[in-house]
Every structure is written in C-alpha cells, then in structure tokens.
C-alpha cells in the first residue's frame, strides 16, 4: 500500500513539472476576467468620494471685481500722501516763521513797466529811450 501511495505522488509530481505540461500551460489562452473586476472596485471608490464631497458644506465664491482690492489700496495711499503733505507743510511753515520777512514798500514815484520787454515794446511806439534799473535785491522791498 505504501508503495502504491508513494508512486502515485511521484507520478503527479512528474506530471506537474514535466516540460510538456509546462508547454501546455504557456499555450493556454489568458482567461478573460471581464472589465467588471476592475471597474466595480473603482466605481465603489468614486461613489465613496462623491458621498464624502456631498457631506462637506458648500462655500460659494463671489466674483467681487477689482474695486475691492483697488479702492482699499487707493484710500490707503491717498491717506499716506495727505499725511506726508501735511507734515511737509508744517515743516515749511515752521521754517518760514523763523526766516526774516522783508517788508514791502512802494518802488518810488516812478511808474515802472512790468519788465524790460514791456518797456521796449512801449518805447517802440512812443519813440522814448528805455531806462532799465538793475539792482541787487528788489526795489519793492525795504531792505535791498
């Protein structure tokens, strides 16, 4: 009995590992499992993701336009500019109040033309010579 069992096992082993058997296996066409084997699993996955997505609260994004960004920036800039201008004016006024103010006076009793060009054009018409008075300082200031 023991001999019969062991010989049977040996026979099966030979058959399983024989080259002919291997060749037969290689030649056998692949079994078509069908797309279901892959698709079903994938479908299940997608469905799960969708469900999860549905469960999330929806946040609507409104298109505000450029004004929301620009207006704020413009306001900030104009405020900064206004502040800077105020500071500059304050400094300037302080400087002016410290500096000497030359009092204005009447430039004598002569009736002066408003500039040399004006005087020459008047002289062209009147035939009179032009008198140009040059000075350091101003004729209409007290200290000159």
Partner 1 sequence: MLFSNDKIANYINATFEPAWQSVRKSAIVRIDFGNGKTVTRTLNGNIATYICTADGIVLDIIPGVYDPVKYLERLEQAKLLHQWAMQPGRRGKKLTAEQRRKRARLFVNHYHTQQVKSIKNRKEPRVIVEAKMMTIFGVEQTMKLVLKSSLKGKSAGRVARDVSRGRSTNNKPIALPPNLSSRIGKLTPNMLKDDSRYNETVRRIKVHELLAKTGPVKPSAITKKVYKEILNTDLDDPYLGLGKVLFGSYPFKDGGK
Q: Which residues contribute to the site for partner 1 (CB under 8 A)?
A: 100, 102, 107-116, 118-124, 126-139, 141, 143-144
The residues near 105 (Cβ < 8 Å, ≥ 6 apart) are: 140, 141, 142
We find the least distance from the C-beta atom of residue 104 to partner 1, in angstroms, to be 14
- Convert 40-103 into a string of H (helix), E (strand) and C (coil): HHHHHHHHHHHHHHHHCCCCCCCCCCCHHHHHHHHHHHHHHHHHHHHHHHHHHHHHHHHCCCCC
Cβ atoms of residues 144 and 107 within 8 Å: no
Nearer to partner 1, 38 or 139 (CB): 139
Nearer to partner 1, 72 or 108 (CB): 108
Nearer to partner 1, 17 or 100 (CB): 100
We find the least distance from the C-beta atom of residue 99 to partner 1, in angstroms, to be 10
Nearer to partner 1, 30 or 111 (CB): 111
We find the least distance from the C-beta atom of residue 89 to partner 1, in angstroms, to be 23
We find the least distance from the C-beta atom of residue 80 to partner 1, in angstroms, to be 35
* Backbone dihedral angles phi then psi of residue 55, each to the nearest 5 degrees: -70, -25
Nearer to partner 1, 29 or 103 (CB): 103
Instruction: Give the integer Cα–Cα distance in Å for 136 and 72.
Output: 53
Look at the alpha carbons of 89, 94, 97, 100 in this order and tell me if their dihedral is positive or negative: negative
We find the least distance from the C-beta atom of residue 95 to partner 1, in angstroms, to be 16
């Amino acid at each position: 009995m023991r001999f019969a069992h062991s010989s049977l096992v040996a026979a099966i082993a030979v058959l399983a590992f024989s080259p002919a058997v291997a060749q037969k296996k290689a030649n056998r066409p692949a079994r078509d499992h069908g797309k279901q084997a892959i698709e079903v699993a994938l479908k299940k996955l997608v469905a799960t993701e969708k469900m999860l997505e549905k469960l999330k609260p929806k946040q609507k994004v409104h298109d505000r336009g450029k004004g929301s960004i620009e207006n704020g920036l413009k306001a900030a800039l104009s405020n900064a500019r206004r502040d800077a201008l105020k500071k500059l004016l304050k400094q300037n006024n302080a400087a002016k109040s410290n500096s000497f103010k030359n009092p204005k006076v009447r430039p004598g009793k002569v009736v002066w033309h408003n500039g040399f060009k004006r005087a020459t054009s008047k002289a062209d018409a009147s035939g009179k010579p032009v008198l140009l008075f040059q000075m350091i300082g101003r004729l209409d200031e007290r200290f000159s």
